[in-house]
Chain A
């Protein structure tokens, strides 16, 4: 297996403005690799550097130092090539609520330069996959949280990315919807052998990950298979692993 994400000594610091002006390091010289086809869990308490890392890997933020390649392309020098190869489901909804489901997908297709015929065909397929075919021409504003998430998953897949970033994809959804969402994700993995980079606070969701990294204080403090991690911390669940690794104190919110 070859690695599709290679992170080397990646760092990012921010200058806080105002009275308490100082520089804080959100991500501190982290290095790791994600293998082709892997379901890779990326965990961390709030403020640990998770979102900053994702923002860098998805080209939304430049690193302060260090390098990373995604799908073989440099995240600083070859941003557009990286962008073509990745699909992203953001933590918060990034749909246009005034457009229909179909229009949202079509917009995405044009952004990624997919021709009209292919676009129409894939949109129909993906809407069927996320069971939204009958709502294709409804305005997104009328959708429930779960429906919006399903639509975003369809959208993230429209341009056939090699790597899918799922940033807390099931946040705020009920257990039924979460189960549904995971069924789609499993299906995607089986049919497309896609690499998935997942962050979540629902730690039962990472039990099935191939490997899990835990970031805290801007550094990777654990990286291994769930079973190995459970053995190492002598616990039974990933939830316990997480608490053992990162402590029980409550964290402040992340910068990004």
Chain B
């Protein structure tokens, strides 16, 4: 057991070393969220508030999408960092692990923890942008957001690791990831409230893990900004006729991660 954990640790550490050695990319990675917040969010906020109708009860549009933009960063970074494992396959480093006397599942857990950690760090950096768009960061909000960001990162990283088990080259992987990421982002409630959607769209939203990711983070941010629960629920969606809650989000994200990580561990353990 100790040896098992040591291998997971060393794989996790390797991902963090890669991230740290490439920290310029971390700064560059902030430009996308800034575009969404300041340009898209800022522009939409001012056009929506014309005629003095505040779209969303006392919250500007840009504040509304702030948790969504954090989720976007997580969707793209957590799933995409699985590309490193595909590169390991393609360029041979994975063989170094495959011929070692360690269970294949260590690869799955080590890499998904690594991917989740680096994506979570990247997403946490976005919090710094909060005050510039009128999101007042409180210690409690940050304390609640950090574990939420981490859980969301793990859930999304588990999608990535399942995909890496299925693809041997970067082209195939990137094609599928692009195909998965954009719909996941658009249908997650990151950019618009989910209360009034046509029913087919709401069904897709319910099946989208990113919806629960956006929801849990939005609930934390807005609750801490003293927005009434009724208002928050109007942005959200229902399952089986009930409003989702932060706890439901968490349970679904934990369950989702567990299922996908188990599946990935099985796929990796299958001998050729």
Contacts and interface: CB of A to CB of B under 8 A. Distances in A.
Contacts of B97: 111
Contacts of A110: 6-7, 9-10
B140 interface: no
Contacts of B139: none
A111 B272 contact: no
A85 to B, nearest CB: 9
Nearest to A110: B10
Interface in A59-78: 59-62
A189 interface: no
Interface in B249-272: 271-272
Given A60-B272, A62-B271, A98 B21 contact: yes
Interface stretch (A86-94, A193-201, A229-237, A241-249): A86-94
Contacts of A113: 3, 6, 101
A125 interface: no
A222 interface: no
Given A92-B92, A95-B93, A110-B6, A80 B101 contact: yes
B93 A96 contact: yes
B95 A94 contact: yes
A107 B271 contact: no
Contacts of B272: 60-62
A200 to B, nearest CB: 18
A112 B3 CA distance: 9
A84 B99 CA distance: 9
B100 A112 contact: yes
B98 interface: yes
Given A60-B95, A62-B272, A94-B92, A112 B17 contact: no
Q: B3, B92, B93, B99 — which one has the most chain A CB atoms within 10 A of its CB?
A: B99
Nearest to A58: B99
B18 interface: yes
A99 interface: yes
Given A62-B272, A110-B7, A111-B7, A96 B14 contact: yes
A108 interface: yes
A249 B22 CA distance: 48
Contacts of A92: 91-92
Dominant secondary structure at the B interface? helix
A145 to B, nearest CB: 14
Given A93-B92, A95-B93, A98-B21, A86 B99 contact: yes
Contacts of A107: 10, 14
Contacts of B21: 98, 139
B182 interface: no
B181 to A, nearest CB: 24
A177 to B, nearest CB: 20
Interface in B13-72: 14, 17-18, 21-22
B101 A90 contact: no
Contact of B99 (A83, A95, A99, A103): A83
Contacts of B101: 80-81, 83-84, 111-113
A129 B6 CA distance: 27
B102 A111 contact: yes
Interface in B60-119: 91-93, 95-102
Interface string A104-140: 0011101111000000000000000000000000010
Interface string A177-217: 00000000000000000000000000000000000000000
A254 to B, nearest CB: 16
A62 B139 CA distance: 55
Given A61-B272, A110-B7, A111-B10, A83 B100 contact: yes
Interface of B: 3, 6-7, 9-10, 14, 17-18, 21-22, 91-93, 95-102, 271-272
19 contacts: A58-B99, A59-B99, A81-B101, A83-B99, A84-B101, A92-B92, A94-B92, A96-B93, A98-B18, A98-B21, A103-B17, A106-B10, A107-B14, A110-B6, A110-B10, A111-B96, A111-B100, A112-B100, A139-B21
Which 6 pairs from chain A and chain B are nearest by CB? A111-B100, A83-B101, A94-B92, A110-B10, A80-B101, A94-B96
Given A94-B92, A108-B100, A110-B6, 14 more contacts: A83-B100, A84-B101, A86-B99, A90-B92, A95-B93, A96-B14, A98-B18, A103-B14, A107-B10, A107-B14, A110-B7, A111-B97, A112-B101, A113-B3
